Amino acid sequence: MKVGWKKIIVILIVLLITIFGFLTWYKYTYSMRIAEPFEVNSPLLEQKILIATQGSEFKDKVVDGLVEKLKDRSVYLKVIDITSLPNIEADDFTAIVLLHTWEMQKPPEAIDQFLKQSKNTERIVVLATSGGSDTSMEGIDGISGESIISEIPEKVDQLMSKIELLLK
């Protein structure tokens, strides 16, 4: 009888180690890194765009595409990681672009809190990446899809068309 309990305990320990190992691998493989902040053009310009993003190959290239299309215009660009959103006053920007992954059927906490605190969501544009779950947010102009590198030019163009409307 003692041998039976020992086997059960060993199996449970192995199972727990396996689950912990899988969760650690999953988080390491699929978690977003912190995006490096930077600015383009003078903050004294009248029109200002905030891009809050998470660090990933896809999102970095979308940001690069937006910056490339906007850098020669009379627009101040501020790029930050989404974790810095609590320090942002939304009314200081003409347009706000939020790039984030959809996590467990909802936006990251920083995005959710920022949207709840923002009084004027008409100037906010969202690109939410997901593996197929519903990514709609009531009252928010957004684009969703998977992080497919070949679709970056299309996503940049979609975001630019929404930004253009806000800059008029």
What is the CATH classification number for the domain harbouring 129? 3.40.50.360
Instruction: Give 91-127 pLDDT, tens digit per residue.
Output: 999 999 999 988 767 788 888 899 888 877 889 999 9
> Is residue 30 very low, low, confident or very high in pLDDT (cuts 50, 70, 90)?
low
Are 15 and 83 members of one domain? no
Contact 99, 52 (CB under 8 A): yes
Are 49 and 105 members of one domain? yes
Q: What is the mean pLDDT of the chain?
A: 86
Mean pLDDT across the stretch 52-62? 93
Are 71 and 26 members of one domain? no
**Domain span at residue 18?**
1-31
Q: Which residue do the tokens 């163009």 mark?
A: 157
The alpha-carbon radius of gyration of the chain (Å, integer) is 20
Are 24 and 64 members of one domain? no
Are 123 and 104 members of one domain? yes
The Cα–Cα gap between 41 and 43 comes to 7
Strands (E), 19-138: 38-40, 47-53, 75-81, 95-101, 124-129
Domain count for the chain, please give it.
Answer: 2
Are 26 and 45 members of one domain? no
The Cα–Cα gap between 140 and 148 comes to 23
Are 24 and 55 members of one domain? no
Specify the DSSP class assigned to residue 134.
-
The Cα–Cα gap between 68 and 157 comes to 12
Are 63 and 128 members of one domain? yes
Are 4 and 57 members of one domain? no
Helix (H, G, I), strand (E, B) or coil at 116: helix
Are 120 and 42 members of one domain? yes
What pLDDT shows up at residue 145? 80
> Is residue 147 very low, low, confident or very high in pLDDT (cuts 50, 70, 90)?
confident
The Cα–Cα gap between 34 and 100 comes to 11
What pLDDT shows up at residue 2? 58
Instruction: Give 8-25 pLDDT, tens digit per residue.
Output: 898 999 999 999 888 877
Contact partners, residue 28, CB within 8 Å, separation at least 6: none
Check whether 136 has a pLDDT greater than 60. Answer: no
> Residue 29 is encoded by which pair of tokens?
């493989």
Are 92 and 157 members of one domain? yes
The Cα–Cα gap between 118 and 140 comes to 11
Are 25 and 106 members of one domain? no
